[in-house]
Amino acid sequence: MISFFKYFLIFFIQLFISSNLYSQNNEDTWNGWLGLEKKGIKKESSAPVVWNEKENILWKTEIPGKGHSSPIVSAKNVFVTTAYTVEKNKLLSDIFQYLIYAASAFLFFVFVFQIRKFFADMKNFTVKNILQIWGFSFILGLVLYYAQTGIFFTGNDGSDHIIRSIRWYYSAMFVFLCIMLITYTLKIRLRNQILFLAGSLLFLCFMIWFRPAPEYYKISDSGYISDTILKAVKFAVWVILILIISLFFIKKKNVTTDNIKSIKKTRFILFIFISGITGFFILGMFGIGIYRILIVRDIPALSFDPFLEIFFRDNNVFKGMIFLGLVVWIISYISNFRNQFLIQSKKIFIGLIVLSTLVFIRNNFLLAGDETVYSVVCIDRASGKIRWSKDVFSGSLQNLHPDNTPASPTSLIADNLVYAYFGSPGLICMDEDGNKIWENTQLPFEDIHGIGTSPVYSDDKIIILNDQPKAPYLIALNSKSGKTEWLTKRKSWNNFHGAHRTPEIINYKGQKIIVTWGMYGLNGYDFLTGKELFDYPLKNSIGQLVASFQFSGDTLFAPDLKRFHAFHLGKLLEKIKSEIWSVKMQSKGPVCSSPVLYNNMLFMVSDNGYASCLDAKNGKLIWRTKLNGTYLSSCILINDNVFFSSTSGLTTVIAADKTFRKIAENKLPEPIFASLAPVNNQLFIRTTSHVWCVAKK
């Protein structure tokens, strides 16, 4: 009898342990990108499908820095990665800013003093000099306005290559605006003109030669940045061209005009001065005012892109006013080359040189920090309190797309260890208490948009696909030591778009195969050796590749913007005709968001919000509808419902059915870029600044 109870107790304990391990590893955890083997599906969950900022939120935890990595969940903890910029030059940048304020005030008051002197000398009260006063005032207004508010036009993110490029060209145009003002103060002598012309040409060469990301942004290409480069170059060329033309008028005598004694001189000149110098401030402060109102009212960024487009980032109005300043300068400058009003004004000359130098250096070399620190954050799953936050790597700023962050790859959990990957900085292995087990810093990834692919795990191997233009490779690391087990090089390409698709590990008829889709097509690799098993050419619709595969039975589903493909994996391995079906998506297919496969239906959403359902057997469109917003995070399926999360913080829940049926719309106050992480009774959502736990209290 005792023996029976002994064996029964042992059996019960083993059953409990087995059940508990199964629950932790499979049901009550989310251990990597889309749950790794779960493929974005949680079939049973008691987490609510309705929530908002105040309803069904168990806790929310603020995460410092920037990161789009999805939460991963163990039995007790939630892990995310983040990164923040260390502003080593902050003190120097602040000093430069105060010097810019001082130089701007100095220029303003010196010019006012020159106006006062002008009033005292009625001989200079001519139509041409009045024109020059207004022209100088108008351009000076733009110069002072940009010196004070230029950051609103170009942002303060040193890793965003678009912001960095725009800041460079706007600063260059600012320098040429200062050059235009300096021409009013010079004596028209051949030596002065030649030196001035040579300096302008040298700066133009400097602007072009040392521009940010020259290999990616070319003048001959199309796009917003190339258009801005072209406008900046045209603006500089026009200034230099007028300086060259002025060489032929050096000996031209000043033409005297009649004094306009009939006009009340003081009020008229004051009106000219004020209208010129305040023109840009009125326009610019209008734009800043709109921006501030929208920020205070907490209106999502996507709601006021048109305003930003007009007044800030694209800022066609601002560029238009710069060229209007060029026209004003040409008319007023060549109307009287012997400027008697501002000639020999050395204070203005020196002030403009100092101001242009300060602004250009600060905006391009001091404004953003020069180091990024990468961190892993552990949150207590029950309470939401941060258990620990560890800085694991640091390095120079990476190039990033505006929608990307330095901490976008999703980490993974395997054998009670956490693996956090950041691209070129490296991969670190830690235990759940934050103790470092090992790190590998030899995983280079160089791409203008930063990294987006996540590591995957199976059988003590961590697989990472680093598809970069110059030296792409697939690598397998030993999960116990971090050492390389094999590395397979891939074909490089000439453009500067990277591929960010997370690879798929497929167990097919007893053989593990790694499948990738890069710039040249589909590739299969042996999991144990890294040997290439097949190479199937498959063209991509766009340069950036992000959305990942789905796999079921023998079929591999490959999403893309313009076409969605299905392939027979066995035939790919046999290198025979393998495409099962291919359907046109009418540019409404997924680019960044990975689809989810359920009950022979493929659910997906395009970046611009077209949600679609395809029949997985033949690719036929079952339904399509337009959702509000932009969708970059991947689809998740929970309890027969599909979740689509947008960058405006809206999560739309629909029935996973052949008929479109909306279940709920749930709004959080911050954008969502990371994919959701569901477990048994909780749903974890990462927004730009917080991690939220959705659960019934």
pLDDT tens-digit map of 158-184: 667 777 888 899 899 999 999 998 888
Structure tokens at 636: 């998740």
Q: What are the strands of the beta sheet with 427-431, ordered from one edge?
A: 412-414, 417-421, 427-431, 436-440
pLDDT tens-digit map of 85-144: 887 788 888 899 899 999 999 998 888 887 777 666 655 556 666 677 777 888 888 888
Homologous superfamily in CATH for domain 41-87+370-694: YVTN repeat-like/Quinoprotein amine dehydrogenase (2.130.10.10)
Q: How far apart are CA 523 and CA 178, in angstroms?
A: 55
Residue 62's DSSP bridge partners are: 690
pLDDT at 258: 42
pLDDT at 288: 47
Q: Comparing 152-156, 350-354, 403-407, 589-593, which segment has the lowest mean pLDDT?
A: 152-156
CA–chain centroid gap for 585, Å, is 26
Higher pLDDT, 270 or 621: 621
pLDDT over threshold 80, residue 655: yes
Cα angle at 375 between 371 and 376, to 5 degrees?
A: 170
pLDDT over threshold 70, residue 222: no
Buried b (16+ CB within 10 A) or exposed e, 662-687: ebeebebebbbbbbbbbbeebbbbbb
Contact 129, 341 (CB under 8 A): yes
Q: How far apart are CA 324 and CA 328, in angstroms?
A: 6
pLDDT tens-digit map of 27-80: 689 999 999 988 999 988 999 999 999 999 999 999 999 999 999 999 999 999
Residue 41's DSSP bridge partners are: 637
In angstroms and rounded to an integer, the radius of gyration of the C-alpha atoms of the chain is 31
Counting other chains too, the contacts that 565-572 makes at CB distance below 8 Å and 24 or more residues apart are 565/538, 566/616, 566/619, 567/522, 567/536, 569/506, 569/508, 569/513, 569/515, 569/524, 570/508, 570/509, 572/522, 572/524, 572/534, 572/536
pLDDT at 545: 76
pLDDT grade for 278, boundaries at 50, 70 and 90: low
pLDDT over threshold 70, residue 297: no
- % of the chain at pLDDT higher than 90: 53
> For 271, phi and psi rounded to 5 degrees?
-65, -45
Residue-averaged pLDDT of the chain: 83
pLDDT at 9: 41
pLDDT at 59: 97
Sequence-distant (6+) residues with CB within 8 A of 12 are none
pLDDT tens-digit map of 462-521: 999 999 888 999 999 999 999 999 999 999 887 767 788 999 999 999 999 999 998 888
pLDDT over threshold 60, residue 296: no
* Nearest to 637, CA basis, from 689, 583, 609, 601: 601
pLDDT at 121: 60
pLDDT at 520: 87
pLDDT grade for 298, boundaries at 50, 70 and 90: very low
Which DSSP string do the residues of 255-309 spell out, in sequence order? PP----TTS-HHHHHHHHHHHHHHHHHHHHHHHHHHHHHHHHTT--GGGGHHHHH
pLDDT tens-digit map of 523-534: 999 999 999 999
Helix, strand or coil for residue 372? strand
- H/E stretch holding 119: helix 90-120
Helix, strand or coil for residue 449? coil
pLDDT at 345: 74
pLDDT at 462: 97
pLDDT over threshold 70, residue 669: yes
Residue 536's DSSP bridge partners are: 522
Residue 667's DSSP bridge partners are: 52, 650
pLDDT grade for 23, boundaries at 50, 70 and 90: very low
Say if pTM beats, i.e. exceeds, 0.85. Answer: no
Average pLDDT over residues 219-225: 71
pLDDT tens-digit map of 321-361: 788 888 888 877 766 555 555 655 788 889 999 999 999 99
pLDDT at 634: 96
Highest mean pLDDT among 147-151, 276-280, 284-288: 147-151
pLDDT at 12: 40
pLDDT at 340: 55
pLDDT over threshold 70, residue 2: no
Structure tokens at 646: 């947008």
Helices within 526-633 (DSSP H only): 569-574
Q: Comparing 95-104, 306-315, 609-618, which segment has the lowest mean pLDDT?
A: 306-315
CA distances from 492 to 450, 518, 528, 529 (A): 17, 10, 24, 21
pLDDT over threshold 50, residue 6: no
pLDDT over threshold 90, residue 390: yes
- % of the chain at pLDDT higher than 70: 79
pLDDT at 379: 98
pLDDT at 322: 83
pLDDT at 69: 96
Q: How far apart are CA 652 and CA 647, in angstroms?
A: 12
pLDDT over threshold 90, residue 185: no
Average pLDDT over residues 431-437: 96
pLDDT grade for 557, boundaries at 50, 70 and 90: very high
pLDDT over threshold 50, residue 443: yes
* Nearest to 546, CA basis, from 676, 418, 403, 684: 403
Average pLDDT over residues 217-224: 71
pLDDT grade for 306, boundaries at 50, 70 and 90: very low
pLDDT over threshold 80, residue 602: yes
Q: How far apart are CA 301 and CA 152, in angstroms?
A: 15
Count of C-beta atoms within a 10 Å radius of residue 322: 22
pLDDT over threshold 50, residue 376: yes
Contact 467, 519 (CB under 8 A): yes
pLDDT grade for 274, boundaries at 50, 70 and 90: low
Question: Which DSSP letter does residue 53 get?
Answer: S
Question: Which DSSP letter does residue 467 get?
Answer: B
Helix, strand or coil for residue 391? strand
Torsion of CA 578, 582, 588, 590, to 10 degrees: -20
Q: How far apart are CA 255 and CA 129, in angstroms?
A: 11
Contact 158, 66 (CB under 8 A): no
Structure tokens at 579: 């495409």
pLDDT tens-digit map of 247-256: 776 554 444 4
pLDDT over threshold 80, residue 382: yes
pLDDT at 247: 78
pLDDT over threshold 50, residue 305: no
pLDDT grade for 24, boundaries at 50, 70 and 90: very low
- Burial grade of 290 (CB within 10 A; 0-12, 13-18, 19 or more): middle
Average pLDDT over residues 594-600: 96
Sequence-distant (6+) residues with CB within 8 A of 478 are 460, 461, 462, 484, 485
pLDDT at 122: 54
* Nearest to 607, CA basis, from 584, 582, 629: 629
Q: What are the strands of the beta sheet with 579-584, ordered from one edge?
A: 550-552, 555-558, 563-568, 579-584
Delimit the domains of the chain by residue range: 41-87+370-694, 90-285+314-366
Residue 486's DSSP bridge partners are: 476
- Burial grade of 689 (CB within 10 A; 0-12, 13-18, 19 or more): middle
Torsion of CA 343, 348, 352, 358, to 10 degrees: 160
* Cα dihedral across residues 516, 591, 652, 66: positive or negative: positive
